[in-house]
Structure 1
């Protein structure tokens, strides 16, 4: 932790749709008494008008590959990286603001590439990347999420793009592993959230 900064609980949770980011963020907020919980989805909606018709941010992440021609694994990741450069810059600013103000904060986001965060953010934030190893379970969770967290956002549409999401997931996991991010399989939801809470309380999930 940077010298002179107050010890606050700032938590960054990454993962593609359906892995439990929103549910686990809510659980952590309740258990840790954190009042500020932000979603990267809303940050993206805020940014979109600022970019006009620029397809770089206007397209959904599962369609961002179109800027590179054919839908290949490589182009899916390229499109994701392009959008992540914009999103991670905004996320970094939010984290730095929370660090400097000594505020407790949880931010959950699809866009998660730790190399795009400043060293100050990485050194003062608890970082987790969530995934589901079993593809069928992942699909089922996407379809079922309308019953829990996203009441007006049927997961069936997102499940149609599970291939793209899982490509993004695998790339983000690879990058996260290089920055000591805790990578958590949420197949067992109850166990995963207990593990994350314990790591935060013990201070085991900081980069520094």
Structure 2
């Protein structure tokens, strides 16, 4: 049996080499799960052929990198960047926004699983907390959904679509909580994913967004039929309280909020992803994170 030696707070430990754990770490390099497990098995065979029955984590990491460089150079570069991300003390803040029904929650969960991040926060939860703090009389828009907040505007303007005005007011209130979580995560050095309809490019302060640790994505669904079909899937889940008819009745306003988010994403340089294929969306996000955040980490460590 091959044993891997590690150290935590100056205390040494040993554990068996695991192809499964190695394969999961390789998946982040954009290779499929089957390929990752195959390469992990190849590395295990290499250790066995070389009669290595005990190896330190740093030595194992270097062996993996050399093996990838010799046999899978494209994956090697991504793996090296990801190792830098995992080792750096700098927190990673991932913002995933999108209109109702485009799949921000599902993608955030998948991304957190792939990257091994434990801190995943929904803006819907932030909104619920703020509803307990801010009364309906003081801020009626926050007690509505993002797509029908316009119904609670006391004095609507004439210069903007009322749906968008209500959406902007709704997002503005929730954004107070979003910024607080970002600031706390940066201060405490905690990597965090924040997802939801309230993640709209241009609303988080420029001072915060200038921090290179923050990566923002805007998910959309171009095809209206596919978008509408997502609500049928969502409402089959037993924990979803809102009825399908509510979403269908408000579908046009939901599409308006998506159009607004696309405009904002173009203006504020948020990465727009047409979220039709789960695997493709996750791969795009991971590629963007490893390219942008990996380069930042290299610069900070050099």
Structure 1 residues 53 and 11: alpha-carbon distance in aligned structure 2, compared to 1, 3 A threshold: same
CA deviations over 1:17-64 (Å, ceiling 9, x no partner): 211111111111111110010101111110012221231211222222
- Aligned match for 1:19, one of 98, 102, 111: 102
Measure how far apart 1:7 and its partner are: 1.9
Structure 1 residues 139 and 110: alpha-carbon distance in aligned structure 2, compared to 1, 3 A threshold: same
- Aligned match for 1:106, one of 193, 202, 211: 193
TM-score between both structures, scaled by the size of structure 1: 0.86
Q: Partner of 2:233: helix, strand, or coil? A: helix
**Structure-to-structure mapping, 1:140-179, within 5 angstroms:** 140-147=229-236, 151-179=240-268
**Distance across 2 between alignment mates of 1:136 and 1:48:** 33
Aligned to 1:38: 121
Aligned to 1:58: 143
**Distance across 1 between alignment mates of 2:156 and 2:237:** 37
* Structure 1 unaligned blocks of 5 or more: none
Aligned to 1:83: 170
* Structure 2 unaligned blocks of 5 or more: 1-87, 296-302
Measure how far apart 1:109 and its partner are: 1.4
Aligned to 1:49: 132
Measure how far apart 1:160 and its partner are: 2.3
Structure 1 residues 149 and 192: alpha-carbon distance in aligned structure 2, compared to 1, 3 A threshold: farther
Larger Rg: 2
Q: Partner of 1:30: helix, strand, or coil? A: helix
C-alpha RMSD of the superposition: 2.5
Structure 1 residues 204 and 19: alpha-carbon distance in aligned structure 2, compared to 1, 3 A threshold: farther
> Is the contact made by 2:141 and 2:150 (CA closer than 8 Å) also made in structure 1?
no
**Distance across 1 between alignment mates of 2:244 and 2:294:** 30
The worse-fitting range, judged by mean Cα deviation, of 161-170 and 148-157 is 148-157
**Distance across 1 between alignment mates of 2:292 and 2:246:** 38
Instruction: Work out whether 1:186 is the aligned partner of 2:275.
Output: yes
CA deviations over 1:91-117 (Å, ceiling 9, x no partner): 011111111111111110111333221
How many residue pairs get aligned? The number is: 201
